Amino acid sequence: MLFILEDAINGILMGSIYGLTALGLTIIFGVLKVINFAHGSLLMVGMYVAYWTVTLTGIHPYLALVIVIPAMYLFGYYLQDIVIKPIFKAEKDVREPITVIIVTTGVWYILDNMTLLFFGPQYRSIDDNPLRGKMVEIGEIMISLPKLWGFAAAIITAGAIYYFFQSTRMGRAIRATSLDRDAASLSGINQYKIYNIAFGIGTAVAGIAGVTLVPFYNTFPTVGVLFDIKGFIIVVLGGLGSIPGAIIGGMIIGLIESVGPQFMAATWTEAIVYGLFLVVLFVKPSGLFGVKYDW
């Protein structure tokens, strides 16, 4: 039984990092009502920024946050401002912004393949890594230390974002825009600026997820795709636009992935995850914590 418990704990920890990826996705959807298909690629960019920061300066992997968070925020802010906003404006009167979705797919292709062009297809991991293979022992249970830190980062980030949305002026403006963009505009909120900021925050959160992944995960150009699809599944499971939903949804997926292989071939757990996703879509599209009007 003990090894199942061990798997379950490590799965939940890994799942919380999935949740962190999904958190950025859910913030962007919540405000812009656009599913950001490029989100995995933003995570990938975050991982590369973290990787190069650590490799070039030799600082502790988690200290890379100091560079990654502002860099990714600005990257997301201007990505939305320059690439996505014009299409958003053109499609303003359309109820379902489909073009914007497909444009984020274009961003995904560009980012992934530009990275492939510049950095090549090889898998990279930090050479001088103080966290590699570090374990925490609780009784006979071994817990991966970098995953534990990832868990902490996920909880702290989700808490901070939640506080920011609930209690600051800017957070309230963002929530107002997500509830009713026209009414928010009428109250003097510049909705396009809010979109930029929300996209920046979502990208920065993807950057945080990237930093927590770098110490124990390989960095390569298509790493985002793995997390992209998982991110979609998690946000639908937890409810699009819901912050606790993203983290808890991530943990559920992590749990299935880690405990599942005890009972069946590992690849089948992937099929189960897709199955679960479809069941949720069909039975309760608003997800576990979602709000009805969002779908």
Binding site for other proteins (CB under 8 A): 29, 33-35, 83, 86-87, 90-91, 96-99, 101-103, 105-110, 112-114, 116-117, 121, 221, 225, 229, 232-233, 236, 240, 265, 267-268, 270-271, 274-275, 277-278, 281-282, 285, 295
What's the min distance (Å) between Cβ of 271 and other proteins?
5
> Do 263 and 214 contact (CB within 8 A), yes or no?
no
Of the pair 144, 177, the CB lying nearest other proteins is at: 177
In the complex, least distance from residue 106 CB atom to other proteins, rounded to whole angstroms = 4
Using DSSP, state whether 216 is helix, strand or coil: coil
Q: How many residues does the chain have?
A: 295
* Minimum CB–partner distance for residue 243 and other proteins (Å): 18
Which residues, at least 6 apart from 106, have a Cβ–Cβ distance to it below 8 Å? none
Which residues lie below 8 Å from residue 232, measured CB to CB, with a gap of 6+?
25, 35, 277
Q: Which is nearer to other proteins, 73 or 88 (by Cβ)?
A: 88
Complex with other proteins: residue 5 or 114, whichever CB lies closer: 114
Measured from the CB atom, the residue of 33 and 124 that comes closer to other proteins is 33
Least separation in angstroms between residue 178's CB and other proteins is: 14
Residue 124: which residues within 8 A CB-CB, separation 6 or more?
51, 218, 219, 220
Strand partners of residue 141: 138
Q: Is 169 exposed, middle or buried (0-12, 13-18, 19+ CB in 10 A)?
A: exposed
Phi, psi of 216 (to 5 degrees): -130, 5
Query: Which tokens go with 43?
Result: 């995570």
Nearer Cβ to other proteins, position 199 or 232? 232
- Name which of 49 and 273 has its Cβ closer to other proteins: 273
DSSP run (H or E) holding 71: helix 65-79
- Min. distance of Cβ 28 from other proteins in angstroms? 11
Q: Minimum CB separation from other proteins for residue 252, in Å?
A: 15
